[in-house]
Structure 1
Amino acid sequence: MPTSDTLLQHGWREATRTVNGVNLHVVEAGEVGRPLLILLHGFPEFWWSWRHQITPLAEAGYHVVVPDMRGYNRSDAPQDVSAYTIDILAGDVVALAEAFGADRVHLVGHDWGAVIGWWVAARHPARLNRVVLMDGPHPDVWGKQAIAHPTQALRSTYVAFFQLPWVPETALGAFDHAGLKAMMQGSAKVDTFEPGALDHYSEAWGHPGSITAMLNYYRALRERPHTEQPARLIPPTLILWAGNDMFLEQHVAEAGLALCDDGRLEVVEGASHWLHIEQPARITARIISFLGDGPNDPPDLSPGHGKPPAHDRG
């Protein structure tokens, strides 16, 4: 696990914030009072997944806040599935911004962090400036895309496995989390994770109740009500999608793009699902460029606002 000395060496700070009924462990960098930028990790990571981005983003002029999402690492891990609905997870992000005194924030998410980011942008657009979403589906399109595309359904079979009681916990936690380590290594390029990196993850997974809490993100999906009209996004949104993602096909990103009033999709060729770790300089530079593209004004919520979505291959 990254130590306090590691944090101090990088000039990072850590604290605990009580938000939305849970205590979240957070790491932050950059000057307080600068535009707030929240980074959301995915499954099965923790704040350290953003280790390559934290300092460059702080040096670019942002107050960077990186939480361990509820259930992960040193944050509280409620054990009830109902504590992990998408509305509650989005509420954590809004409450975290409020805890830092920010009316509006920039938001960057990967994997489940992106899933939550889609929902924050859809349900709380006035709280966001700009949004970057990486390799995580819009909650309203994920299941529909799996139904429409059998190959995507095959890639998503692990979601069904995670619904089982106790069995996934046993499988993923056995032999020092060998199953989770194999999943990460098997879905990444050979040199993605530096020596010892997966040991840091394993230590985070070893906190009491963490594995169940992490799985509950998926189990709570069955509690989502059916919606006829998928939720649209108003804030300017950049979707970064790995060209070689083992879990998600590109049409999932395109379906999400179609729900953005002001969106852009860029495919990062040669990258696996862990694109921000494999190509940190490229991804960080693109985040900085996109966040700096426009003024930090609140989104226009008037009817009909928005530009036709753009679609680039990067």
Structure 2
Amino acid sequence: MQRRPDHADATGAAQLIRHQRIAANGIGFHVATCGPEDGPAVVLLHGFPEFWYGWRQQMEPLADAGLRVIAPDQRGYGESDKPAGVGAYALDTLADDVCAICSQLGHERFAVVGHDWGGIVAWHLAAREPARLSRLAILNAPHPATLASYALTHPLQAVRSAYVGFFQTPWLPEMALSANDHALLALALTGRSPPGTFDEAALARYREAWSREGALSAMLNWYRAMPLAQPLGRRIETPALVLWGDEDPALSSGLAEAGAALCETCEVVHLPGATHWLQHEMPGQVNASLIAFLAGA
């Protein structure tokens, strides 16, 4: 394992975050960690089009609360490997990655916090691996077993999800998303979020990640592999928390309750005024909710 401190972030956490590369589930992953090594483990799973860096405002507060924070670049993203082929990004494989990373780091039981696609993986993990999860926290991510049925009864959500079909087509999405220095991806972050949420330094970090060889195809393969998924609709026994930015332009707020309905115990917290990027826009409120919830993990 190679370790290096993160000196690039002006978040106060630079001296705490360590980076390493590990082998898990047959490929190599870049993983950022911080917090006491003997603390309860919590895995932060980013979504599209981010990487570990999307949790930079959460890592130090969670670590200060005594948690061992693990934030991987999921497969296809950032500095992690980008295996070829759509089949390498099936939902079960993505869930296997999380379990393998945690096992490699010595954690057989852990909490998981997931945003966007990371939240979809987290939902699937909770349904499939209840013995390994201590807590489940979801940020603006639909339960994979509810999205299609919800869209059928809520036409606006079907319209909002139209981009998913485009992302599943070959080569054209790569052309569109790479044009003009990844302008569309940058707009996805900045278009609806308050000014300054993503500054130029942050956007430079994202553009660097998106420019890595094979990155765009790998990131899009998460969408292209959706037909391979077999979402699990079984009841979720793991205590759950859903935080939802109600101004999300792509995901209706009712999806929060749709996912919660599959849980034995779930608190839903709506954040009026927050968009899809709630952990960036309201870090103080998000961190406080996560710490209060995870403290019992």
Question: TM-score, normalising length from structure 1?
Answer: 0.89
Matches of 1:139 and 1:64 in 2, distance apart?
Answer: 25
SS at match of 1:27: strand
Q: Deviations over 1:243-264 (max 9, x none)?
A: 1111100121111110001111
CA-to-aligned-CA distance 1:90-145 (integer Å, 9 cap, x gap): 11111111111112101111111101000001100110111110001111111221
- CA positional deviation for 1:151: 0.2
**Equivalenced residues, count:** 291
- Cα-Cα RMSD: 1.6
Give the counterpart of 2:277 among 264, 274, 277. 274
Q: TM-score, normalised by structure 2?
A: 0.94
- Summarize the alignment of residues 18-57 of structure 1 with structure 2, pairs less than 5 Å apart: 18-57=23-62
- Aligned equivalents of 1:270 and 1:5: distance in 2? 32
Q: Which residue of 2 aligns with 1:6?
A: 8
Alpha carbons 2:41, 2:69 under 8 Å: kept = yes
Query: In the TM superposition, what is the alpha-carbon distance from 1:156 to its structure 2 partner?
Result: 0.6
Aligned 8 A contact 1:140 1:230 in 2: yes
Supply the AA of the counterpart residue of 1:253: A
Residue 292 of structure 2 is aligned with which of 289, 294, 309? 289
Percent identical: 44
- The alpha-carbon deviation at position 3 of structure 1 amounts to 8.3
Please tell me the residue identity of whatever aligns with 2:101. L
Task: In structure 2, list runs of 5 or more residues that go unmatched.
Answer: none
Higher deviation after alignment, 33-42 or 190-199: 190-199
Give the Cα separation in 2 of the matches to 1:192 and 1:236: 31
1:260 pairs, out of 255, 260, 263, with 263
Match of 1:194 in 2: 199
Q: Is the 8 A contact 1:19 1:92 kept in 2?
A: yes
Are 1:83 and 2:88 counterparts? yes
Unaligned runs of 5+ in 1: 297-314
CA contact (8 A) 2:5 2:16 kept: no
What do the CA deviations read for 1:195-254 (whole angstroms, capped 9, x no partner)?
Answer: 3211110100011111001001111111224x7x72321100000010111110012111
* Structural mapping, 1:165-314, within 5 Å: 165-225=170-230, 230-292=233-295, 294=296, 296=297
Out of 62, 66, 91, the residue aligned to residue 61 of structure 1 is 66
CA contact (8 A) 1:10 1:55 kept: no
CA contact (8 A) 2:41 2:68 kept: yes
